[in-house]
Structure 1
Amino acid sequence: MANTPDTRGAGRVTIREVAAAASVNASTVSRVLNPDTRHLIGDEVVRRVLAAAKSLGYRQNRLASALRGGQSRVIGVCLPDIENPVFPPIVCGISEALAAEGYGVLIANVVGKPKDQERMLEQMLERQVDGLVLATASRHDPLVRRCMRDGVPVVLVNRGEDGGQVPEVVNDDFLSMRLAVEHLVKLGHTCIAHLSGPERLATGLSRLQGFQIAAQQHGLSSTVVFEAEEFTREAGRVACEQLLKAHRNVTAIVAANDLIALGCYDVFAALRIECPKDISLIGHNDMPLVDMLHPPLTTLRIQHHEMGRQAARLLLGMISTPGAAPLRITLPPELMVRGSTAAPRQATSRSRSAAQAR
């Protein structure tokens, strides 16, 4: 496809100027600058044109060129919290897989009310993205419905959606909870609590269900669940305070993510609870630096980079083969045992004193 001169702005180098410097015509420059037609031109001319373009500082208007072919070769990536350390490795995986196929990435932090999210999606579509990777999905997500209605290729990453109508790449949350509960049971814990994420999100619900199934399989009757309103440190702190106020006999906590676990650390410090001597704690995600906490956090390591890479591959498949059946890729986690879990104390000094008094 031929590239036309981009004359916007004074001083911008045009194809005609490159052609004059290389002593060829403008159509030859266009063919050389287009990888799909470069093979039609002799090697010596290609080298001369590329050298002239570089020396003059010529830059192609790739977006305009791509749009003439019906594609922008740009993919939109929507994140729910760009400050959350979980998402950079996902974005890296997406970017690397897309770059290998000549695609760029446009990233948006999608927050606020549904109207705000709809506006952000509209801005993405106005920029002619070829498809979207959403890390923002709720279980019944209006943005997903909008993409399906408008025929926009979309893949979900990290969070799935009820119905399974679009491709998604997620962690095996049921396996995560099974590994966490199994680890604590082997240490001797029988009174285990779960600080769940918000159930409106698939990750919150699936980890809750996974915890409940694992507890049932191990015959645990003394389990309790408190829901954190968000996957944040502050929400984790609030949920942990509520949990410990209502259930003083808990010896271990499985948090739905590492940020909620950080909230538990805050509560432990305020109440002078020693971890893991008084209460063991397990997080989820293995985000950066949790191994530097005191004590280092036992957590589930998620394949975030691979998750992003697989999501990009699914999306490219949708773009090249529209109408294919949606796929669901589930990646296994790995339990990272560190210093925040240990065998429970058999009895507190208070209970021992009470026993002696009898």
Structure 2
Amino acid sequence: MPSATRRGSPPSPPASGPAAPTLKKVAEAAGVHLSTVSRALNPETRHLVAEAATARVLAEAARLGYRPDAAAAALRTGRSRLIGALVPGIANPVFAPILAGAEAVLAGRGYALLVADPGDDPARAVTLADEMASRRVDGLLLATAAGHDDPVVSRCLARGTPVVLINRTEAEARAPAVVSDDQEGLRLAIEHLVALGHRRIGHIAGPPNLSTGALRRRGFEAAMAAHGLDASAIAPATAYSRPAGAAAARQLRAGHPGLTALACANDLLALGTYDVLAEAGLRVPDDVSVTGHNDMPMMDMVAPPLTTVRIGHAEMGREAAHLLLRALDDRTTPPTRGTAVLLRPTLVIRASSAPPR
């Protein structure tokens, strides 16, 4: 029977659990000095500790359930070890491998990645960037850049926050970027279609305010001109989405009947083009060949499998993370204005392209 508490007496304090493990306890368990534990648990200083000692420290820390105090470390070092990332569509399959590639590199240096999705709304992007700044992120990976002077880039430059652009760039390169060679991608698609015998080729372009839309259109026009072909059959989409692709395809077919091939600036635009051609009773590629751009996951599983330009998404994320880490390592000599890593795309030929009838 439980003992009664006397009226007016304070209740007995609840029994406390075991004290949280400390660095000192880990050091005692591993048989090493406290400073050795501190270095071994920090990915940036781990190389200063012998491998055997590091292995012991990590094993004992895991056994004891030791967790570093991130807030205390941030106060001590002036770094939160948080990196922000803004992407224009978290559900878009393009960005999952980009983020995974970046996260793998950042985690190896003890950084965590915070991801937010403002869509293609510049005001929302600024708000989210400000919220990340309030959480003292050490740097920003930005996949939402648009126009000549992206407001988030301006914010980062004003604050002195390292920022690296991914997949898109500004018209005037003010920050380092990792992008695919968008003009080369469209050249590859047009070379392929011309080699098949197509001469009447149209382009479903991306939004003109985005670097990917503008550069891929430029690549289409240059490749068509190189073969002496008319490059006027262009319809820009309002967004990189399947419905926007369908709307642009209807516009293009209305103004340019008789096209035998359509080179699309994005795989989702290509899927919208599939829809419009099916509505018109046309078959891909028997009646019209279609190419995409990006090689999103499952493009080999649509009907027919899509010929498309493959971008190294995971490599893009890794390279962007490396650029950002270099900026964080040496803030006194930030990356050269407009430093760009240009990744070379490849063409993946599938069943959506064939010689014209």
Question: How many aligned residue pairs are there?
Answer: 333
8 Å Cα contact 1:91-1:305 kept in structure 2:
yes
The CA RMSD measured in Å over matched residues stands at 2.8
Partner amino acid for 1:83? A
Unaligned runs of 5+ in 1: 1-9, 346-358
Change over 3 Å in CA distance of 1:21–1:254 after alignment to 2: closer
2:126 is equivalent to residue 115 of structure 1: no
Give the corresponding residue for 2:220: 211
Change over 3 Å in CA distance of 1:13–1:162 after alignment to 2: farther
Quote how far apart the aligned CAs of 1:150 are: 0.8
TM alignment of 1:132-171, pairs within 5 A? 132-140=140-148, 141-171=150-180
Give the corresponding residue for 1:268: 277
Quote how far apart the aligned CAs of 1:66 are: 3.4
Partner amino acid for 2:262? I
SS, match of residue 290 in structure 1: coil
Deviations 1:302-330 (A, max 9, x none): 11111111111111111112233131111
Give the corresponding residue for 2:288: 279
Give the TM-score taking structure 2 as reference length. Answer: 0.85
Change over 3 Å in CA distance of 1:248–1:127 after alignment to 2: same
Q: Distance in 2 between matches of 1:310 and 1:40?
A: 27
Change over 3 Å in CA distance of 1:195–1:66 after alignment to 2: same
TM alignment of 1:181-330, pairs within 5 A? 181-221=190-230, 223-322=232-331, 323-326=334-337, 327-330=339-342
8 Å Cα contact 1:241-1:267 kept in structure 2:
yes
8 Å Cα contact 1:157-1:169 kept in structure 2:
yes
Partner amino acid for 1:198? P
Quote how far apart the aligned CAs of 1:110 are: 1.9
> Given the alignment, which residue of 172, 178, 182 partners 2:187?
178
8 Å Cα contact 1:12-1:58 kept in structure 2:
no
2:353 is equivalent to residue 341 of structure 1: yes
8 Å Cα contact 2:23-2:38 kept in structure 1:
no
Deviations 1:223-254 (A, max 9, x none): 40001000111100111111112222111000
Partner amino acid for 1:165? R
Partner amino acid for 1:342? A
Partner amino acid for 1:166? A
2:20 is equivalent to residue 14 of structure 1: yes
8 Å Cα contact 1:276-1:339 kept in structure 2:
yes
> Given the alignment, which residue of 79, 94, 106 partners 2:87?
79
Quote how far apart the aligned CAs of 1:73 are: 1.8
Change over 3 Å in CA distance of 1:170–1:46 after alignment to 2: closer
8 Å Cα contact 2:22-2:66 kept in structure 1:
no
Deviations 1:170-203 (A, max 9, x none): 1111111111111111111111100000010000
Unaligned runs of 5+ in 2: 1-15
Quote how far apart the aligned CAs of 1:31 are: 5.5
Change over 3 Å in CA distance of 1:12–1:117 after alignment to 2: farther
Quote how far apart the aligned CAs of 1:58 are: 3.1
Partner amino acid for 1:122? D
8 Å Cα contact 1:32-1:46 kept in structure 2:
no
Partner amino acid for 2:140? L
TM alignment of 1:15-164, pairs within 5 A? 15=21, 19=25, 22=28, 32-35=37-40, 47=56, 53-111=61-119, 113-140=121-148, 141-164=150-173
Q: Distance in 2 between matches of 1:75 and 1:315?
A: 9
Give the TM-score taking structure 1 as reference length. Answer: 0.85
Once the two structures are aligned, what percentage of the paired residues are identical? Answer: 45
